[in-house]
Amino acid sequence: MSQDQDFKKLQQRTYASFHQDGLIDMIIGWAIVGFGINMALDNSAFLFLGWLPIVFYVPIKNRVTVPRIGYVKFSSSNSLLIGIVLAILLVLLLGIFILLIVGPHLIPAQLSEWFSEYYLLLFGSLVGLGFAGTALVTGISRFYAYAVMLVLIIAAGIWLNIPDPIYVLTAGLLILVVGITHMVRFLRKHPLTNEAGVNESE
């Protein structure tokens, strides 16, 4: 049992090590910023722009991270677990979205009102759960902080009557800044040397 825990810890440390570059944080932060700009300007092009960097995730990882700390492919069972967690959350988010659109006809008026007032808190909580679930599986502990921060910022925004896009943008920018900070620290800690690029065993 304790050996299993040790191996689990080792696996989580390896995950965290591979994601110490902050690239994933930058992409998530940028997506939330895109969502916030979309809300502010009511222009869905920004929603698309927010998710666009996902396309560049693997090429950037291969160009920036792999030459510095090497390449690793994690076992498919863990990737599947993360996929399941995220798929459940996506289904829940879609469910809420559909309820918001057709809700007034399907759910009691009181619940519908609650949804329209606190839908962002609900969205934020689900995204926060996604962060916490991913942190639990991968051991990337800063994702726990994101989960708490997201819910707190949205709750504070609603409580202080701040316009929705402002606190969504704030949350996205904070994650983006943390990502950039991690990237800068990573680049300083692992400078690209001639030797690092050579990946030969002999």
Partner 1 sequence: MNQSESSNEELQPIADIDPLIHAPTRLKIMAYLSIVESADFTFLMNQTGLTRGNLSVNLRKLEDAGYVSIKKEFVDRIPRTLIRLTDEGRQAIQSYRENMQLVLNELLGE
Asked if 198 touches partner 1 (CB under 8 A), the answer is yes
CB 143 within 8 A of CB 134: yes
Asked if 110 touches partner 1 (CB under 8 A), the answer is no
d(CA 32, CA 29): 5
d(CA 136, CA 199): 32
d(CA 100, CA 140): 33
List 72, 84, 90, 111, residue binding partner 1 (CB under 8 A): 72
| Residue 13: alpha-carbon gap to chain centroid | 18
Q: What is the dihedral of CA 157, 94, 60, 128, to 10 degrees?
A: 40
- CA distances 13 to 7, 55, 70, 140, 178, Å, are 10, 26, 15, 8, 19
Asked if 165 touches partner 1 (CB under 8 A), the answer is no
CB of 17 or CB of 125, closer to partner 1:
17
CB of 42 or CB of 202, closer to partner 1:
202
Least Å distance, CB 42 to partner 1, is 41
CB of 4 or CB of 42, closer to partner 1:
4
Task: Tell me, by CB under 8 A, how many residues bind partner 1.
Answer: 25
Residues in contact with 198: Cβ distance below 8 Å, sequence separation at least 6, in sequence order: none
Asked if 202 touches partner 1 (CB under 8 A), the answer is yes
List 67, 100, 112, 173, residue binding partner 1 (CB under 8 A): 67
Asked if 70 touches partner 1 (CB under 8 A), the answer is yes
List 5, 110, 161, 201, residue binding partner 1 (CB under 8 A): 201
d(CA 30, CA 54): 10
Contact map string, positions 2 to 41, toward partner 1, x by CB under 8 A:
-x---x--xx--x--xx-----------------------
Residues in contact with 180: Cβ distance below 8 Å, sequence separation at least 6, in sequence order: 22, 26
CB of 31 or CB of 137, closer to partner 1:
137
Task: Point out which residues bind partner 1 (CB under 8 A).
Answer: 3, 7, 10-11, 14, 17-18, 62, 66-67, 69-76, 196-202
